């Protein structure tokens, strides 16, 4: 069968693997799979089950529901998960071998961090109660008369306004669903986990007087399993993202670092361990100059968990993932810290992982440039590790569609600095032709582009564009020094690196130097704005969910008050830096035809950022158009309503076709 080019509508057919859980006997894997509804206006997600040898893939839950966060009970008899059925989200369990889902709790709020007690009799989780919403005479929910705000951290993108009540730790009896709230008051609790003997629970929280300012001062506490006085576990000051008891109950492993004054994600999260009964915490991966979490971004998933952290049952090893030079790979470190080993590495993106039981098998969700996420297993039960892909959710795509496999390159920027990038050519590329091109710039800034499937880039390449993307200085995956170079210096060496890539590409014989475009979202939108404010070399640009005016973003963004850590002061204490680094300062220089793409419910880079840029450019008489997406959050390209994701892609092709191909659509 002759293969065809990818289309925007192919996005509607994709099955997105959002999470996995290995059963305690390592015989089966539960998979959370998200699909697009027929009306193109929402998603459904269901749980699938498959044997770890790849046999008997079957859909475990059905209906117009959103089921997620599957977790097995230690005795292997039950699967717990959260589910949104109608307007309410609840906690459910099902027999592992099939049957009806049983509601455990339908308290109105958000459930997270699910796990079981060691005896499989209780489900442990966090729960945040929703505020009571008034209803009109017709029974429909109404907006409150007013909102009384007392904290800076009162809203979050893709969530909205936070309820007044913080997340607390609960247990629910599996037998009768009786719930017990174990913590009260204070600030939100997270990552609860039972000790191996079931007598204690460890969790994370921030107990600072102003946690909104001291966001990286996270502590580990341990409480009796039935509730009671919490005991602080002594760790260095800094952020903590996950906790796991050692099987012998003597240690807690966690992900974090010891730099509470870190900028926006510069300092590497490492694997640490700390004794339960007092003693010094130890950084087990101190010599590893990489993040021990997944920092690779894709448009097939909204966000990733803090990362894998799992002890082997003999207390000897801890497994985790590492972001390194465009890949997310699997590692392990000995509990002594003396041995650090790469378990599985390659041109890949490990998006999810699960270990259980004897740890002779590992379940992995892996993506690559030409393969959407699929479930793999890594089997250690026989001599040598055997990797096997056991699902084929995207087989139709790889069978039917011509996909472009990027060329990996290293180019040199200012100071002869090496920068890692990729070039994606049209799938029917001809060497003797000249092509229009688009420079893609990632957000963050402290994330990385890498070896993962990107529908948008494949679509642009299939539409006749050479797409090129890289990891400029300021991002992650190349060490702390690389990440720190733009702290209090956005628009410096990061700009140099982007332009160096454009220089590199301009010399290619197949590139039409008069038809080069640029785009990026979030921080990538910032850099797009910065570029067109400092050079006219690009024939067209699209800025997405972008940063325009850092000073107004300080007060309007859901996390804007964190920015003084990155810019060394507030707009009123370090005004010059905030103005100097704001693209709006250079708006008079912008003459590149610019499309502004922004979501109206973006709380990370609020719509006012786009509005300032649009009005300024219109006042200056420049070529600019503005596309707004109602009701959508910051991550429209990853999790937005499917029909609006398609509209966004259509607008991108319209704009670049108009200015880089001379076509009107």
Q: What is the pLDDT of residue 58?
A: 95
Residues marked as catalytic: 522, 634
- Per cent of the chain over pLDDT 70 is 99
For residue 305, what pLDDT is reported? 59
Which pLDDT score, from 0 to 100, does residue 54 have?
Answer: 96
Residue 655 has pLDDT above 80, yes or no: yes
pLDDT in tens, 530-581: 999 999 999 999 999 999 999 999 999 999 999 999 999 999 999 999 999 9
Of 305, 471, 78, 563, residue with least CA distance to 91 = 78
| Cα gap 662→514, rounded to integer Å | 12
Q: Are 415 and 36 in contact (CB under 8 A)?
A: no
- Mean pLDDT lowest for which of 258-267, 303-312, 558-567, 594-603? 303-312
pLDDT of residue 464: 98
Task: Output the six-digit token pair for 466.
Answer: 């050479």
Strand, coil or helix: 549 = coil
pLDDT of residue 137: 75
- What is the domain partition of the chain in residue ranges? 409-661
Q: What would the pLDDT profile of 512-521 be if each residue is shown by its tens digit?
A: 999 999 999 9
What CATH number should be reported for the domain whose range is 409-661? 3.40.50.1820
| C-alpha span between 94 and 177 (Å, rounded) | 13
Q: Which of 82-96, 192-206, 454-468, 536-550 has the lowest mean pLDDT?
A: 82-96
Question: Is a pLDDT exceeding 90 seen at residue 286?
Answer: yes
Mean pLDDT of all residues in 174-201? 96
Non-local (6+) Cβ contacts of 621 within 8 A are: none
Q: What is the per-residue burial (b if ≥16 Cβ within 10 Å, else e) of 604-635?
A: bbbbbbbebbbebbeeeebebbbbebeebbbb
The CB density around residue 132, as the number of other CB atoms within 10 Å, is: 10
Q: What is the DSSP code string of 579-615?
A: HHT-GGGGGGG--S-EEEEEETT-SSS-HHHHHHHHH
pLDDT of residue 304: 63
Q: What tokens does 556 get?
A: 């309007």
SS3 content of the chain, % helix, strand, coil (to 5): 15, 35, 45
Which of 482, 448, 483, 469 shows the shortest CA–CA distance to 322? 448
- At 476, the pLDDT band (50, 70, 90 cuts) reads very high
> CB neighbours (10 Å) of residue 60?
20
66-86 pLDDT, tens digit each = 999 999 999 999 999 999 887
For residue 504, pLDDT over 60 is answered with: yes
Longest CA pairwise span in the chain (Å)? 74
Tell me what pLDDT residue 184 has. 95
Mean pLDDT score, 415-425: 98
pLDDT of residue 203 exceeding 90, the answer is yes
State the DSSP H helix or E strand holding residue 430, giving kind and residue range, or none if neither. none
Mean per-residue pLDDT for 128-141? 82
- For 252-280, what is the mean pLDDT? 95
The pLDDT of residue 306 is above 60: no
Q: Which one, of 508, 648, 660, 645, lies nearest residue 593 by Cα?
A: 660
- Whole-prediction pTM value? 0.96
pLDDT of residue 88: 77
Q: What is the per-residue DSSP string for 104-172?
A: EE--SEEEEEEEE-TTSSEEEEEEEEPPP--B-TTS-B---S------S--EETTTEEPPSSPPEEEEE
What is the number of H-type helices and E-type strands within the chain?
12, 40
Strand order in the sheet with 466-470: 407-412, 418-424, 466-470, 435-441, 511-521, 540-544, 594-599, 624-629
Give the pLDDT band of residue 15 (cuts 50, 70, 90). very high
Under 8 Å between Cβ of 285 and 292:
yes
Q: What would the mean pLDDT of 632-636 be, rounded to a whole number?
A: 96
Q: What is the pLDDT of residue 106?
A: 92
Closest CA to 574 of 551, 592, 602, 591: 551
CB contact set of 631 (below 8 Å; sequence gap of 6+):
600, 601, 641
How many whole angstroms separate alpha carbon 296 and alpha carbon 307?
12
CA gap 585, 565 in Å, rounded = 21
Query: Please, which residues bridge with residue 245 across strands?
Result: 252
Rounded mean pLDDT, 222-241: 96
Residue closest to 22 by CA, chosen among 356, 365, 513: 356
Three-state DSSP at 203 gives strand
Where is pLDDT greater, at 562 or 383?
A: 562
Residue 665: predicted pLDDT: 64
């Amino acid at each position: 069968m002759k293969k065809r080019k990818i289309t925007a509508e192919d996005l509607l057919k994709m099955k997105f693997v959002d999470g996995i859980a290995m059963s305690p006997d390592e015989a089966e894997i539960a998979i959370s799979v998200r699909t697009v509804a027929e009306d193109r206006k929402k998603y459904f997600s269901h749980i699938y089950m498959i044997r770890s040898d790849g046999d008997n893939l079957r859909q475990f839950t059905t209906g117009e529901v959103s089921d997620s966060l599957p977790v097995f009970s230690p005795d292997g008899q039950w699967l717990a998960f959260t589910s949104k059925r109608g307007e309410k989200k609840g906690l459910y369990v099902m027999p592992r071998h099939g049957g009806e889902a049983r509601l455990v709790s339908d308290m109105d709020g958000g459930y997270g961090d699910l796990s079981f007690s060691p005896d499989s009799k209780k489900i442990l989780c966090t729960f945040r109660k929703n505020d009571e919403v008034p209803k009109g005479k017709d029974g429909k929910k109404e907006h409150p008369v007013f909102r009384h705000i007392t904290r800076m951290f009162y809203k979050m993108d893709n969530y909205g306004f936070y309820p007044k009540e913080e997340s607390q730790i609960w247990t629910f009896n599996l037998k009768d669903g009786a719930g017990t709230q174990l913590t009260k008051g204070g600030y939100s609790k997270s990552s609860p986990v039972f000790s191996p003997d079931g007598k204690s629970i460890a969790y994370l929280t921030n107990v600072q007087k102003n946690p909104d300012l001291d966001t990286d001062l996270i502590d580990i506490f341990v409480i009796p399993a039935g509730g009671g006085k919490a005991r602080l576990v002594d760790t260095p000051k800094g952020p903590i993202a996950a906790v796991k008891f050692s099987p012998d109950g003597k240690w807690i492993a966690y992900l974090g670092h010891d730099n509470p004054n870190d900028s926006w994600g510069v300092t590497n999260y490492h694997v640490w361990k700390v004794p339960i009964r007092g003693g010094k915490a130890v950084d087990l991966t101190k010599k590893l100059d990489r993040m021990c979490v997944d920092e690779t971004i894709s448009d097939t998933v909204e966000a990733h968990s803090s990362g894998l952290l799992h002890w082997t049952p003999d207390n000897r090893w801890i497994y985790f993932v590492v972001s390194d030079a465009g890949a997310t790979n699997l590692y392990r470190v000995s509990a002594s810290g003396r041995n650090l080993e790469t378990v599985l590495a390659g041109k890949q993106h490990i998006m999810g992982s699960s270990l259980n039981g004897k740890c002779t098998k590992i379940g992995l969700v892996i993506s690559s440039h030409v393969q959407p996420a699929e479930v793999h297993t890594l089997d250690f039960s026989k001599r040598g590790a055997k990797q096997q892909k056991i699902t084929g959710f995207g087989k139709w795509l790889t069978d039917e569609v011509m996909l472009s496999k990027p060329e990996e390159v290293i180019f040199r920027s200012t100071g002869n600095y090496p920068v890692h990038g990729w070039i994606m050519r049209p799938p029917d590329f001809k060497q003797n032709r000249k092509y229009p091109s688009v420079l893609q710039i990632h957000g963050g800034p402290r994330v990385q582009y890498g070896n993962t499937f990107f529908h948008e880039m494949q679509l642009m390449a299939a539409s006749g564009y050479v797409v090129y993307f890289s990891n400029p200085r300021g991002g992650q995956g190349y060490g702390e020094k690389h990440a720190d170079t733009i702290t209090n210096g956005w628009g410096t060496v990061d700009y140099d690196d982007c332009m160096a890539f454009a220089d590199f590409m301009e010399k290619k014989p197949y590139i039409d130097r008069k038809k080069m475009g640029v785009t990026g979202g979030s921080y990538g939108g910032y850099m797009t704005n910065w570029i067109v404010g400092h050079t006219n070399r690009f024939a067209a640009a699209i800025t997405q969910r972008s940063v325009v005016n850092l000073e107004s973003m300080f007060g309007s963004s859901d996390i804007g008050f964190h920015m003084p850590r990155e810019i060394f002061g507030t707009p009123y204490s370090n005004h010059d830096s905030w103005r100097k680094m704001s693209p709006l300062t250079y708006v008079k220089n912008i003459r590149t035809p610019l499309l502004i793409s922004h979501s109206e419910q973006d709380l990370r880079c609020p719509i006012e950022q786009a509005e300032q840029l649009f009005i300024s450019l219109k006042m200056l008489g420049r070529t600019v158009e503005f596309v707004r997406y109602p009701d959508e959050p910051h991550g429209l390209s990853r999790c937005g309503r499917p029909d609006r994701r398609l509209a966004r892609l259509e607008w991108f092709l319209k704009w670049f076709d108009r200015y880089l191909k001379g076509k009107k659509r």
